[in-house]
Amino acid sequence: MSEDRKGISLFHLAIGAGVLAVAAVGVAALVPRSRWAAAGDAMKGALEWPVISAVAVWATSLFSETPRAPQFNDLRPYDDF
């Protein structure tokens, strides 16, 4: 009998992380520093826009919060059938 597993195995996650790492090193090696500097300047300029900066602050707050269990605070009266 084969065991059916649901979800992603750690092996597949490791392979994906390795592929992403190789791609990042390849891009970093092939793109000249002047283009990286130009891209950085463009990102700094975009962060001055209110919407972009708000999204950036929201995205960073997602990483700083610890996961919590769902809280149910339903104060509606019970339905009578």
Domain boundaries, the chain: 33-65
pTM score of the predicted model: 0.39
For the cut 50, the answer to whether the pLDDT of residue 79 exceeds it is yes
For residues 5 and 55, which has the higher predicted lDDT (pLDDT)?
55
Tokens of residue 65, six digits: 């919060």
Least confident interval from 16-20, 50-54, 57-61, 77-81: 77-81
User: Could you tell me the end-to-end alpha-carbon distance of the chain, in angstroms, rounded to an integer?
Assistant: 48
For residues 24 and 61, which has the higher predicted lDDT (pLDDT)?
24
